[in-house]
Structure 1
Amino acid sequence: MNTDWHKAAVAENFEITTARLLIRPLAEQDLQLYLDLYTNAETMVFVGEPLPPEQATHSFEVALRLNAKTPFKRLFLTIVEQGRCAGLCAINQWSSETGIAEVGIMLLRPWHGQGYATEALGALIQRVQQQFYGAVIKGDLDPNNQAAVQLVLKTGFQPDVHHARTYWVKPNYAIAPL
């Protein structure tokens, strides 16, 4: 599993097209999207303190460098709907040793409540299961974020009975590796 996962951990393997969305690796032209998400107090309320613009710009540059590594350690993906950037999703960490991949998602306010998060997260889960065959997918979220709790439950996550912040998707062996 270790070797296969390392070969699969390439940003280009995570370009995904859904019915309404293109999910692609974060690129230089996505700086404004990144700033709009990470400097916004409303968006960051369940994530952490919003970043000052200069710190968010530095974080963006780090994210671009992380995406360029092969195998990547973290992967940032831009969610695009009809040419407009709607948000980000990510593989926040993965481990071939433990078989766990952690994912996350953030959308700009205009894309909330229209099923885009469900579509994007569902597609990301499927691609992670294809690329990291046998992966257990983890979501870590604030249990007070009811929208996020509903989203993860809708996309197949199950709550961890021991940790209120943690949700899991078990491997789907029906999805063949690519």
Structure 2
Amino acid sequence: MTLVNGLPAHVLFVHFVVVLVPLSALALVVSAVWPKAARRLGLILPVLAFVTLVTVPLTSHAGEWLERHVDSGPLVRRHAELGDGLLPWALGLFLLATAVWWTARRTPAPQGGTDVARGGAVVRVAAAVLSLVVAVGAVVDVYRIGDSGAKAAWHDAFSKTATGHGD
């Protein structure tokens, strides 16, 4: 899909990515740190991360089409290069969300100081740390991509002084 109602699809799809990546990242971290939240979210967690994963290549594909239809200066090329790096982060969000969901739906580990309980705690801490790293990486990447896209779209596209119209 390249145009939606006469507009480049990329400028519309990007809004899904800008909302879904941070939302998936937040849901993942909360679920990884707080197993009760993961159980309450249930299947929503991996489904949300999957929808996020699907929107990234759709948005990238629409962006590649748009790149071929605009002046491809250094700002546009930088934005395209940064955009190519988001898919691994989205895949990481999906894989971790699926793992956290799968783990949370299992029967809770035995209570107390048993080796099984300690092993489960170690796995939960590792999953929480990894989830935090991937979530932060994904959100920072979305910010960097969005910032570069805004600069590419708006660079020299407006006057820094008021034109006097509409005051």
- Judge same fold: TM > 0.5, yes or no: no
> Which of the two has higher C-alpha Rg?
2
Q: TM-score range by the shorter chain?
A: under 0.3
More helix per residue: 2
| Structure with larger RCO (C-alpha < 8 A, sep 6+) | 2
Q: What TM-score results when the alignment is normalised by the length of structure 1? A: 0.25
More strand per residue: 1
